[in-house]
Each structure stands twice: as structure tokens, then as C-alpha cells.
Structure 1
Amino acid sequence: MSNIEADDPIPDSISGTGENQKSPERGSYTASLLSQGSHRFYTLSMPSDVLAECCMVEPRYADPDEGFQRALDERRARDIAAYIDSGTGTIPSSIVLSAQPEADLQYNRPNRTLNFIVGSRAFLILDGQHRVYGFKLATSKLRVPVVIYNGLSRTEEARLFMDINTKQRPVPNELILDIKRMAETESDSEALMRDVFDLFNVEPDSPLFGLMSPYERKKGKISRVTFNGALKPILETFSGASAGYVYQVMSAYLHSCLGGMRQNGVADLIVNPVMFKALVILFPAVAERVADRHGAEFSIDNFSEILRPMFERVRKADLANPGKSPTSLVDIFKKAMRSGFTIGMGS
């Protein structure tokens, strides 16, 4: 038994498994033993169906004493399964596991093979529970990279879980949006919003010039996520329009908004996500009034004709403190737009 690591559990052959008992099914895979800091772990690849069969999680809500993992998001797992079954899916990142006593994990150093009992509680998932559940739901099978720790206490498992989920930073949504065109995964609306954002970002006459952040979220800048979240609800207003035309009209509108905000000493709040979204959501109501008076002449002066009285009537406190709800702020703006409107009595 010299081929068994010192910290591995005792194999069945010397733990009292009787001759008449059916030996449990074991899986065996080529693996490498690595060391990092105070930990040792094995790296290998496993079939996704075997991986799904022998892994478990201990969610916090189900076991407050021993559990430390988040609740499973089944929709996310189904999305992963659909991605795998699409035929083009690839998931190269490793699933991180902790071998449990039930796995009876054994490593043959000369042959560099790792074998274990294939059972539902063989491994505790430290990272990748949604991927593993996605593998279980998928009809397609694939080889999956796996990292397996052995001999960890529950305290060590919890610490590793914390390290994995706090030391790694997800890719910013702003960067994902920025590279979607390169990846050829943009929808038509995403492509339009991307082009409009880029025009606001690079055109010298843009009211938002120098205030945009294409790749990441930055304080004092309007990110792609904020911009798209504001523009998407009003895209129908520009049915069939080019990015250049959307920019031309929205640029005139936002220049007018900034004029009213400067009069109230709050122009710097244009980059506030709530303020920016509220102003953009308000756009169709303002544009409709402009169209009624001036047709398709969406100029700065024509927008200002509608917006100037609104900014004069709205309370400065509402502008200085946009709050947390763009919808509530839009209601305040619309109320200010309606104020002062009367129908005179006929003679």
C-alpha cells in the first residue's frame, strides 16, 4: 500500500470489506499532485456526468451549523446546460472540490492516477455548483477540468470557499458590453446602444464628452451599463433610426437638460445614475411636446422651450437629491412640466 498518500483514507481492501459484499464502483483518472502554500491538491479532468453524480453542496440555509454555500439558482444552471447542449459551449475553468471520507480517495504516485468511490457524497463543491448542476441537466457530455483537495476540515473548506469567492473579481459588465461586438453576440438593440454611447463618448460637441466610461464603472462617469439601462426603455421612440440620428436628437436634448441643471447649480449631477436615467426616461414626453409645436425640429432651442419652465418650477431640493428611484424623479419632472398649464374660459 505504499502507493497511498499518508493523508488518504484507508482503502476498502484493509477496512473490513467482506468478500461477499459488492465492491462500490470506483473511478480512476490520471492526475497530478501539486502544492501551493500550505495546501496540496490534485488536478485532473473528469467526464461531466461522473462529476455530476458524485458531488454535493452544503447550502447555508439548509445547514446553518455546517453549511456555507449560497442557494442554487436553477435558472442559471439551466442556462449553462443549454450552453453546453448548443454544441459550441466550452467551460475551461476548473471545478474545485473537497474529497469527503465517503470518496475513499487514493493516489497512485508511480502511475499518477487518482481513484475514488463514485457516490453522491464523494466530493463537496467549493467552487462551481451551478456548472456541476448544469452538467447534470445537460444531455451532452464533456471532459471537465477539476481540482480536488483532500483531508480538509470543515473550517478549512469554509476558508477556501471564502478565498475563492472574495479574491477573484468578476469581469465588469461594462467590459462585457464593450466586447460583445468583437464576440459577434450583440443584438440589434445592443449594437445601436453601443454606437450611440461611442458617439457621446468621442464627439467633441457631445454634452457628455469626458463623462463616459466605456470599459468599467468609475465614479463621476456614465458607464455602458448605466447608459444602456437608461436608453433601452425609450428605444421604441427611435424606431428604425440610425445611431447618428439618435445621437443628434439626444445630444440636443441633453444639452438642454444641462442648461436647466446649470441654472440650478446641479450640472455635475448629470452623471448620477438616477438623475441620468430619469432625464432619459423623460425624453419621449418632452420630444412629443416639441413635435407638437415644431414638427421634427429637435433642436437645443426647441427642447429648451419645454425644459426651461420645468427646471424653473421643480424644487431645487429634488434636483440636488435625486434619491434612489428614477421613476419617482420622472414623476416630479412631469408634475413640474404640467404646472402652470391652464385653459382660459371663453368670453
Structure 2
Amino acid sequence: MIEVLGLTKRYGATVAVDDLTFTVEPGRVTGFLGPNGAGKSTTMRMILGLDAPSSGRALVDGRPYRSLDRPLRVVGALLDAGVGHGGRSAYNHLASVAASNDIPRRRVDEVLETTGLSDAARRRVGGFSLGMRQRLGVACALLGDPRVLLLDEPVNGLDPDGIRWIRTLMRDLAAQGRTVFVSSHLMSEMALTADHVIVVGKGRLIVDTDMAEFVRGSSRTDVRVRSPHGAELARLLTAEGATVVTEPDGALAVVGPDFSRVGEIAAAHGLVIHELAVRQASLEEAYLEITDESVEYRGDIAGADTAADDTTRGGTVRKGPRS
């Protein structure tokens, strides 16, 4: 496993990572999330011994990375898909890396096949597209058949087929009992791939929990109900303290009463319901909600000041988009 213990990294007066503690366990994919500047890449670099911490420790299987005799046999990492001499072929690049860690040459052919690069093995890396470089970086990470993998933005440059491939690969590796630690800004992919999530902001830990629990805990869960008696139902629901928003298609978004209670209120007053469903927040919504105060670089969004003008407050129903 990976253990991060009180890890701190300062650059002068700037604290990039601030007393960070968490554990990445084997047998599952752990997503590492956070806004730009949150300290994710710096944390990964300290785990790999590329940056020295100001204080604290990062251990892999109970040892600092720098103490590993043949590190690629224990840890495989993709931090920068641009590494590798552009004049070398993909095969020669991997062969040189394999030789540095006493990895059998046959592994080069195996990882080229795994990553779909067999046909491009003799081509120079300098002519590779971003997606091909990304696959080569994954091949390098897999070269030592490691128990632990750290992948920073592994889907960058991949087409839809490549994204599906890397998603399946990460889940298969975790199912084999390996530790898979992956950083990404692509929330839709993390929702499909990760079992566990660690969220950081401004260098500090915000959340370390099961993915389903993280999404389920978002305050954005509501009940969607559609009825030809929408106005009357909204009045009854707000009388019970619910927050109700009328959506563009006329359905009601209800926060407060649970799914069953909304149905009971409608039934008690003889109101017909055409749709009644619980809507769970997406990973993106849960993530944006919990990291809102940790965003350092925020651009203006046109219309943002008026987006909430039509929301319901204090039991008053107004038409408007759901936030």
C-alpha cells in the first residue's frame, strides 16, 4: 500500500502540501482529486522520491521509494507522458528502462501488446501523437509488473476507445490485488473507474472515503416529481418545509421530504403523479460542492450572478433552472 504521513512541502512562503495524511490500499482504484494547485502532483512526486518533503513521510509497502533496490518492480508511475528521447523507438526506450531494473526483455513485447503499441514498436517516439505517448507512458509503468501504480491524468490525449481501455486496465489491475492510485480532472471517468476517493484542496485533505458514500453525502440529492397538479403539490410540499424548484419542463425538484413522503402527500390529497424519482448528485456535483472554497483559479461564468434568481426560498415557488 501507499502511506502518506503528515506530508508537507513548502516552497519559500508557499505551502504546496500541508500536513497530508492518507492511505491508498490494494485491491481498489483510488481516485486523487482536487482543483488546480491543490498539491496532487507534488504529493505524487514526493511519494516517488522526486521531491523531498519539508516534513512527514511517504512510504510504499512500508519503505521510502528511494530505498527500493529495483523500484520499477514495486512501483509503476506515469507522471509525464512527454518523457523519453524523441529519437529512440518505442521498443528501445522501453528496453533501456527495463535494463536499468533487471527486467527481462520479454516484458517489453508484453507491455507493447498490452498498450496496443506493438505495430508502432519500431517507430521513433518523437513522431508519436499525445495519445500514443500516453500509451507508451502506461507501458513504461507496467514494465516491472509492479504491485503499485501511480497514474497522473492517464486519459490525457486518448480517444474514446483509449479511455475505455485505460479504465478497464485500471480496474483489472485493482482486481488482481494491486494498488492503483490515479489523479484526474475528468469526473465522468473517475465516477466509472474509482472505488475510493481522496480529495485535497490547497494542499490539505478534504475527503478520504468510499466513492459511493462521497456522492451519496452530497447535499444536492433531491426528488423529481411531475404531476398535472404541480402548483397544488408544490404548495403542499412547501407547507411541510420543503424547498421546491419548478424546472423548465414543469416538473418539481424537491429538497427536504424523502421519496416516500412526497408520494404520500400527493396520494393523501388525490393528486395524480406521472413521475417520481430520487436524483442523486453526480460525482462532479459532489466534487464541486466540497471543493468550492479551495479553488484558487476561478474564471467568470456569463450569467452566474443571475443563475439563482429563480430558485425557491422560504417556501415560495419560482420558475428557474436547477442549480
Give the alignment's TM-score, normalised by structure 1. 0.24
Quick one: higher RCO (CA 8 Å, sep 6+), 1 or 2?
Answer: 2
Higher helix share: 1
Q: Which has the higher strand share?
A: 2
Quick check: which has more Rg, 1 or 2?
1
